[in-house]
Amino acid sequence: MYKFIAFALIIIATTSQAQVHWHNVDSAFAPLPPSVHVYYTNDSIDGKPNIAYYVSAELKDKSLDFAAQIGYGKRFTPSQYYLNEGKPLLVVNCTFFEFVNNSNLNLVMNDGKLLAYNNAAIAGHGKDTFTYRHAFASAIGITKKRKADVAWLYTDSTKPLPYASQIPLNPIKDSSATFVYQTVGLAKWHMQTAVGGGPVLLQRGRIAISNNEELKFAGKAGLTDKHPRTCMGYTKDGELIVMCVQGRFPNIAEGVNLTQEAQLLKDLGCTEALNLDGGGSSCLLVNGKPTIQVSDKEGQRPVPAVFMIKVK
């Protein structure tokens, strides 16, 4: 991890303390490399029905290739990415996006190159109609040396690399949609592969949700509403964790809120973790096989970017 500035964590209290029991289901998704495992739970969370899967992968396993791909102005289902990208071991949705131009609203990096950028400005409403808020969105990245990091980023299409803060930064209000950040205190983020989302859920192994800084969800609803969720994190032992939680199925799998999602990752030993696009976008494939049942009645939602694990 890259840590440049000391800071005091703001810890989010959680009412979801009971650990769920995870069951190894490797045989249902075989063949798998020895360094990759798949787990399933249907234990209730706070008395509500729950279904979730996660994949653990050893970052140091050089037979694994961690990659990302975008749709270049188009959206594809995870199953279409699976076929188009040579049948990767894992395919999962990642970034938030807009439907008009099928544009990613978060950073995507592959082979050390920026493929998509953070949304630069959020237009104000009401008395703030003529102002913009510029927030540092979060992402998870993996270096060439196979070290993972979660950071808050500034991206610029004129710069080859993003700039990162290792602490959450408050958004900046400005009258310009093209406000230029001063990069003092930020450092170039040298990642081989990275995908963005937000907000961050865990910092230094503790639940600390940076929703107020990232402006992902309005009010308290973002913390308390239950939805399907996709998230990623990593442990101090070098395990990458990719998780999907099923939701919007009353009495079967209702989904989780951000605090419950963070607790699931904390219980697995994640040091840092962040939320990714969820809802109808949440979809995790292992060897092309679905894990959770997606919530959209039409089936898998086409998305403009995915994170992948490939076997070399």
Tens digit of pLDDT for each residue in 150-191? 999 999 999 999 999 999 999 888 877 777 777 778 999 999
Output the CA–CA distances (angstroms, integers) from residue 173 to 15, 49, 117, 163, 185, in the order listed. Answer: 33, 41, 20, 19, 19
Question: What is the model's pLDDT at position 133?
Answer: 81
Question: What is the model's pLDDT at position 220?
Answer: 67
- Which residue would you say has higher pLDDT here, 125 or 248? 248
Instruction: Say what percent of the chain tops pLDDT 90.
Output: 81
Averaged pLDDT, 52-62: 98
What pTM was estimated for this model as a whole? 0.92
Question: What is the model's pLDDT at position 2?
Answer: 37
Question: What is the model's pLDDT at position 134?
Answer: 84
- Which residue would you say has higher pLDDT here, 11 or 158? 158
Query: Does the structure show a pLDDT above 60 at 16?
Result: no
Question: What is the model's pLDDT at position 52?
Answer: 98
Tell me the HSE value of 312 on the side-chain side, using a 13 A CA sphere.
Answer: 7
- Nearest-angstrom CA–CA distance, 206 and 190: 25
* 60-64, 169-173, 215-219: range with lowest mean pLDDT: 215-219
Question: What is the model's pLDDT at position 15?
Answer: 43
- Under the phi-then-psi rule, with left for phi > 0, alpha for psi from -120 to 50, and beta for the rest, what region is 96? beta
Question: What is the model's pLDDT at position 222?
Answer: 67
Question: What is the model's pLDDT at position 22?
Answer: 98
pLDDT tens-digit readout, 108-117: 999 999 999 9
DSSP 173-211: EES-TTPPPP-TT-EE---SEEEEE--EEEETTEE---H
Summary mean pLDDT of the chain: 91
Averaged pLDDT, 86-90: 98
> Dmax of the chain from CA atoms?
57
Question: What is the model's pLDDT at position 244?
Answer: 98
pLDDT band, very low/low/confident/very high, at 13 (cuts 50, 70, 90): very low
- Nearest-angstrom CA–CA distance, 69 and 174: 32
To 5 degrees, how large is the angle CA 6–CA 223–CA 236? 45
Instruction: Say what percent of the chain tops pLDDT 70.
Output: 91
Radius of gyration of the chain (CA): 18
* 15-19, 92-96, 140-144, 235-239: range with lowest mean pLDDT: 15-19
